[in-house]
Chains A and B, each alone.
Chain A
Amino acid sequence: MSPAKRYHALTIDEQKCMGCTHCMKVCPTEAIRVAGGLAEIRADRCVDCGHCMRACPVKAIYVEQDDLQNIQSFKYRVVLFPAVMIGQFPEKYTEDQIYAALLKIGFTHVFEVEQPIGILKTSIKEYCRKSPDNRPHISTFCPAIVRLIQIRYPSLTENLIKRKAPHDLVAHFAISELKKQGAKEEEIGLFYVTPCNAKISSVKSPVGETESIVDGIINMDAIYNRVMKAIDDSEAADTSARRQNLTRDGILWSLTRGEARNFGERSMAIDGIHNVIRFLERLENEEVPDIDFLELRACDQSCAGGIMMTGNRFLTVERLERRAKRYPPTWKLQNSPAIKESKQLKQKLVADTIIPKPAFSLDKDRKRALEKMARAQRIICFLPGIDCGACGAPNCQALAEDMVNGKAKMSDCIFLQQMWENEGKIDTKKALRNVEKKWGEKRFQADCNKRGRRNEGF
């Protein structure tokens, strides 16, 4: 594998990428273009939702992760994982057996991310009560949604709740718990297991925070494989004490309605980034009624459908809902020592203001932007409106916008080029060279072993 064009957590493998339109077509922010037979992600527009990764038929988009060996350099090796992880495992495995497998892999401490959820819940409620002007309050739980709002709905950044996500909180919680056991901060290694690439970017370069305290990231599918290898069917030691702060609300938190059920008189939960976009368009136009709280998640079925989750998302949800029933509601634990003693945690909850980063303007200078827009409108008249993507841009409008920014040319449109050929304005050889420039040399020759051939990857 040769890591090539890297951005955030997503990397395109040049050896594997064969140049097709799948990723480009599903990108909700039109951040992907194809040139030279390779997909390219535009950094300023990518929100790390991972939809491209899901759509890639040859698995050419991958997520970098930290080496699991890194944990060995710490005395206290802490794995922080979201409760949703447990939902992936077949039901024959008990929580004790899964915990035992994690310890066998080499961790010394196991923390489920949603343990201090009671504190977060109280804090969000308080925030919502104290800032009634910024309604509907929008959850910052899903990092892809936060970035989407920053770049595409900048006017809604004010509505984002200035509170951290559970995965940032649990790190502080774990440190304070371990310190009680006599650990020094430099001896503690915190490793976060992530269900998606958005959380990686958020942990490594957090929005709304100055720095992250996690020492490493492990992809969910990687740890799943390790656990499945290490797990055994025999009776495992009782580890319920390690879950004594876990609650029903915590287990459900990362699922759809997991937050919404807790806040506001009128709350809504929307999952799937394309659904979220349709709703935010309306919200921005004030086409929606009075709503108190909005839970927005980029993945269908929220984190159960995370890009790095293994197994079927609906089965995962079902298992977690059954698991949650065995745990107490948050209010029953509000007087537990760990929660009561976590006063300092409360200060850690507050996140910095999230600033807009609009990424769709045609030019910094308004006069030039207006000229470019007028030109793009004229160009559109000549494009076929088929939105085929053969030009390397996701649709005709995007191609026109690329053109006025000097990133594409008229002959990139294969239909226009065909017409010009017919009219004798361009010779056939040059036309083919143009298409090969986009899609790679010899890309169109017959080859039965061509990657991405029919049904591959589906």
Chain B
Amino acid sequence: MKLQFTIEGGNFSNAGHAASEIKKMLKQLGIEARCIRNIVIAMYEAEVNVVAHAFEGQILVDIETDKITTEIIDKGPGIPDIELAMQEGYSTASKKVREMGFGAGMGLPNIKKNTDEFYIESTVNSGTTLKMINYF
């Protein structure tokens, strides 16, 4: 089953909406609690990333019987050095974002930790695409 969500850059109050929707559905599918937790954590982190850094984004979710594939495509500044961004504690979040309790520089590493497969592509001044797969 395919689902689609949009993310609005800068709107922190709405971050986590997609993650919560997906969580409800995975519970209805009877997926194991720990597995749901990993997926939801990764998704929430990814949503917050888009809200904090990009102008707008889209989440495409495909739920199959054995796995869930999530693509998060944003229009934004892109990531110049992905290897650096994957390090824990590295962050380019603005002071304003940090004051809101986000931007600790754990986002991408945390997403990777909570997914079975993780791919990232980014073009500076254009945008970033994440793809993550979790097997049930």
Give bound CA distance, A377 to B24, whole Å: 13
Are B29 and A155 neighbours in the complex by a CB distance under 8 Å? no
Give bound CA distance, A364 to B25, whole Å: 14
Does A291 belong to the interface (CB within 8 Å)? no
Answer whether A373 and B20 are a contact pair too, CB < 8 Å, given A284-B37, A286-B41. Answer: no
Are A374 and B1 neighbours in the complex by a CB distance under 8 Å? yes
Does A272 belong to the interface (CB within 8 Å)? no
Give bound CA distance, A154 to B34, whole Å: 9
Majority SS at the chain A contact face: helix
What are the residues of chain B within 8 A of A377 when measuring CB–CB?
1
Does A229 belong to the interface (CB within 8 Å)? no
Are B63 and A370 neighbours in the complex by a CB distance under 8 Å? yes
Majority SS at the chain B contact face: helix
Q: How large is the interface on B (under 10, 10 to 19, 20 to 34, 35 or more residues)?
A: 20 to 34
Give bound CA distance, A304 to B33, whole Å: 34
Interface string of B93-105 (1 = CB under 8 A from A): 0000000010000
Shortest distance between the CB of B51 and any CB in chain A (Å): 13
Does B23 belong to the interface (CB within 8 Å)? yes
Give bound CA distance, A363 to B29, whole Å: 7
Which of chain A's residues has its CB closest to B45's CB?
A: A286
Answer whether A287 and B30 are a contact pair too, CB < 8 Å, given A155-B36, A281-B20, A373-B1. Answer: no
Which of chain B's residues has its CB closest to A369's CB?
A: B29
Which of chain A's residues has its CB closest to B35's CB?
A: A155
Give bound CA distance, A286 to B136, whole Å: 20
What are the residues of chain B within 8 A of A401 when measuring CB–CB?
28
Size of A's binding interface in residues, CB under 8 A: 25
Does A358 belong to the interface (CB within 8 Å)? yes
Shortest distance between the CB of A174 and any CB in chain B (Å): 38
Are A285 and B20 neighbours in the complex by a CB distance under 8 Å? yes
Are B65 and A366 neighbours in the complex by a CB distance under 8 Å? yes
Q: Which of B34-67 contact A (CB under 8 A)?
A: 34, 36-37, 40-41, 44, 63-65
Shortest distance between the CB of B108 and any CB in chain A (Å): 15
Are B1 and A284 neighbours in the complex by a CB distance under 8 Å? no
Answer whether A366 and B29 are a contact pair too, CB < 8 Å, given A155-B36, A285-B20. Answer: yes
Are A369 and B30 neighbours in the complex by a CB distance under 8 Å? yes
Give bound CA distance, A206 to B84, whole Å: 52
What are the residues of chain B within 8 A of A152 when measuring CB–CB?
27
Does B19 belong to the interface (CB within 8 Å)? yes
What are the residues of chain B within 8 A of A362 when measuring CB–CB?
28-30
Give bound CA distance, A367 to B23, whole Å: 17
Are B23 and A284 neighbours in the complex by a CB distance under 8 Å? yes
Q: Which of A367-407 contact B (CB under 8 A)?
A: 367, 369-370, 373-374, 377, 401
Are B30 and A285 neighbours in the complex by a CB distance under 8 Å? no
A sample of 12 cross-chain residue pairs with beta-carbon separation below 8 angstroms, ordered by A number, consists of: A155-B33, A155-B37, A282-B16, A285-B19, A285-B41, A286-B41, A287-B44, A358-B27, A360-B28, A362-B30, A370-B1, A374-B1
Interface positions of A (Cβ within 8 A of B)? 152, 154-155, 281-282, 284-287, 289, 356, 358, 360-364, 366-367, 369-370, 373-374, 377, 401
